[in-house]
């Protein structure tokens, strides 16, 4: 599902317009990004949690040239689905 379809579907579910729904989704992304920068995780009961993970700097080898490169540290956001969400997906598959 692409972003446009997601916003339309969510808007129908909550009886809101496309602009309002798009603003809510953008705000949610901003809050998640800010929490990740602060090192906080964000948990949605019944859905899952977004947790920031700090990756340390490392040395990698470029496959084409064989040159060694230093990759700087970065923060990545990981998602861990809740047990309830996993169960709903499993039940729906059957």
pLDDT 10s digits, 47-77: 999 999 999 999 999 999 999 999 999 988 8
Question: Does residue 23 have a pLDDT over 90?
Answer: yes
Question: Does residue 94 have a pLDDT over 80?
Answer: no
Where do the CATH 4.10.520.10 domains begin and end in the chain?
Answer: 45-94
* Cβ atoms of 14 and 21 closer than 8 Å: yes
Q: Rounded to two decimals, what is the model's pTM?
A: 0.71
Q: Is 82 left (phi over 0), alpha (psi -120 to 50) or beta?
A: beta
- Using DSSP's 3-state secondary structure scheme, residue 2 falls into coil
Paired sense of beta strands 68-71 and 58-61, if any: antiparallel
With a pLDDT cut of 70, the percent of the chain lying above it is 99
Confidence of residue 92 (pLDDT cuts 50, 70, 90): confident
Architecture of domain 45-94: Irregular (4.10)
């Amino acid at each position: 599902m692409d972003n446009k379809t997601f916003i339309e579907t969510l808007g129908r579910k909550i009886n809101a317009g496309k602009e309002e729904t798009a603003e809510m989704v953008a705000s949610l992304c901003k809050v998640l990004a800010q929490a990740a920068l602060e090192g906080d995780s964000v948990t949605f009961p019944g859905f899952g949690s977004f947790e920031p993970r700090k990756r340390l700097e490392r040395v990698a080898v470029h496959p084409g040239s064989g040159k060694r490169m230093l990759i700087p540290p970065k923060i990545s956001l990981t998602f861990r689905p809740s047990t309830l969400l996993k169960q709903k997906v499993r039940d729906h598959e059957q």
